[in-house]
Amino acid sequence: MSERQPVADYLRGAESLRKRELVWGMVREPAAPFWPHQDVVTRTTVLLYEHVDHHALGAVCASPIDVVLDSDRGLVVQPDVVFLSTDRLHLIDDQIWGAPDLVVEVESPGTRQRDRVWKHGWYRRYGVREYWLIDVDRCTVSVFGFGRPGRSTRRVFRGPAAVRSVVLPAFDEPASAFFPRR
């Protein structure tokens, strides 16, 4: 078993396009995602970037980007896509130091438990306002709102239904836009 690593040591590592996370001080390096996952990540990034840029709402970034949720406890994640509103742009240094407004994770069979349980809990606990969980197999976009402490709301969008967001209230793309045509 390897030793726990402080956030500062983790962040001093060489830059890499390989996805890495620090979970309670332990480095986690999963294998690269498969094509369907990355296809949906790319589509999601473009949809969000175009919307945010058009309305001058802040910044959008795709993984890998370190999001330091808890420096003291060693929790650094790399969500698939993040959005920071203009009010939270101060969190960006070389990494994001604190909770983005919106975090998107695209599920893969190997990440389903982690995304639905662990990351959902971390994002709620550390102040993410909204969490989108995209299921490639079911072609659904689940939007979790974390407006009330300790609670979350969930809305599921599929097909032509417009994805609705509290964080991005003018966003109105259909859920089908996140997925390749079948």
Residue 28 in domain: no
The three-state secondary structure class of 76 is strand
Residue 154 in domain: yes
Residue 118 in domain: yes
- pLDDT per residue as tens digits for the range 28-66: 777 788 899 999 999 999 999 999 999 999 999 999 999
**What pLDDT score does 80 carry?**
96
Residue 8 in domain: no
Residues of the domain holding 115: 36-64+80-178
Q: Taking Cα atoms as reference points, which of 158, 166, 156 lies closest to residue 129? A: 166
Residue 144 in domain: yes
- pLDDT above 90 for 177: yes
In degrees and rounded to multiples of 5, residue 90 shows phi and psi of -65, -15
CATH classification at residue 169: 3.90.1570.10
The three-state secondary structure class of 9 is helix
Residue 155 in domain: yes
- pLDDT above 50 for 149: yes
Burial letters for 70-108: b for 16+ Cβ neighbours within 10 Å, e otherwise? beeebbbbbbbbbbbbeebeebbeeebebbbbbbbbbbb
What CA–CA distance (Å, rounded) separates 131 from 102?
6
**What pLDDT score does 1 carry?**
43
In the chain, the number of structural domains is 1
- pLDDT per residue as tens digits for the range 154-167: 999 999 999 999 99
What percentage of the chain carries pLDDT values higher than 70? 96
- pLDDT per residue as tens digits for the range 117-142: 889 999 999 999 999 999 999 999 99
Task: Identify whether the C-beta of residue 102 lies closer than 8 Å to the C-beta of residue 79.
Answer: no
Task: Kindly report which listed range (2-16, 88-102, 140-154) carries the lowest average pLDDT score.
Answer: 2-16
Residue 10 in domain: no
Residue 26 in domain: no
